[in-house]
Amino acid sequence: MSPASRTPVLAANWKMHKTSAEAEAFLADFLGRVGDPRDREVVICPSFLALKPVVDLCLQSPVRVAAQNMHDEPEGAFTGEVSAPMLAEIGVDGVILGHSERREHFCESDEALARKLPAALDAGLEPILCVGERESERDSGETEAVLRRQVEADLAGVDDAGLSELVIAYEPVWAIGTGRTATPDQAEEAIGFIRSLVEARSAEAAERVRILYGGSVKPANAAELLGRGEIDGALVGGASLDPADFAEIVAAAS
């Protein structure tokens, strides 16, 4: 279990799944199952188009809502993009940044992330920064070097106060959508290393920053992972699409 000072975060990354109608059907089922998890932070991350309906449906519940990406500029000639103030205006609470699928398929760079993180914080959004190594990088013993490069570069523009407000998700690329979960030892080791990187900047922020595990988290393995002291929650993809499965994962964090 996380120390009492760090409220566990259970975030549902729906990726490019669920229309607005499907999101509404999910919440009609999920909100009743999840109840009022005061000791946990539950976050739903739908597509841009489903954000507003999900925000409206979650207004009377403790469930929070985050986007899956944003542009670093508040406005401008960036066709097809969405800015942090636009997300904040409709009541969105946070934003996933640097997911490996965006790094891989959409050329998301550490330089862009270094601009996006302060922009999100400035707009009052809670960023969920994703970092993690590829399988070949783990096999060649580069896991810590990759995590160091991503964490140091992506957080370069965030001040110490901002550091303690954000959430980081350790997501080994080889575990995402593959059914291969990192062992609790592997997850704890990587998360401990990430926390040491934050500590090099600010001991207070390292104590407060929530660091999650993500990669094939399911109801069957959630309790084992979430029971570990270093793991402050989970970023869940596939299993978060099913209201019963995601509610079970939320319950496993109690």
Which residues in this chain contact ligand PGA in the complex, by CB under 6 A?
13, 171, 176-177, 214-217, 235-239
User: Tokens 């891989």 identify what position?
Assistant: 104
Min separation Cβ 181 and ligand PGA, Å: 8
If the CB atoms of residues 2 and 216 are measured against ligand PGA, the closer one turns out to be 216
Min separation Cβ 85 and ligand PGA, Å: 25
Nearest to 42 by CA among 15, 28, 61: 61
Active site residue: 41, 71, 99, 137, which one? Answer: 99
For 120, other C-beta atoms within 10 Å of its C-beta total 30
If the CB atoms of residues 124 and 184 are measured against ligand PGA, the closer one turns out to be 184
If the CB atoms of residues 11 and 117 are measured against ligand PGA, the closer one turns out to be 11
**Cross-strand partners of 64:** 43
Can you tell me the distance from the alpha carbon of 247 to that of 196, in angstroms, rounded to the nearest whole number?
31
Active site residue: 41, 126, 133, 171, which one? Answer: 171
Buried b vs exposed e over 156-183: b needs ≥16 C-beta within 10 Å? Answer: ebbeeebbbbbbbbbbbbbbbeeeebbe
Closest residue to ligand PGA, judged by C-beta, is 237
Min separation Cβ 241 and ligand PGA, Å: 9
If the CB atoms of residues 156 and 223 are measured against ligand PGA, the closer one turns out to be 223
Contact (CB, 8 A) for 171 and 214 = yes
Please say if 171 is a catalytic residue.
yes
Please say if 99 is a catalytic residue.
yes
Buried b vs exposed e over 61-83: b needs ≥16 C-beta within 10 Å? Answer: bebbbbbbbbbbeeeeeeeeebb
Min separation Cβ 249 and ligand PGA, Å: 10
Catalytic center residues: 99, 171
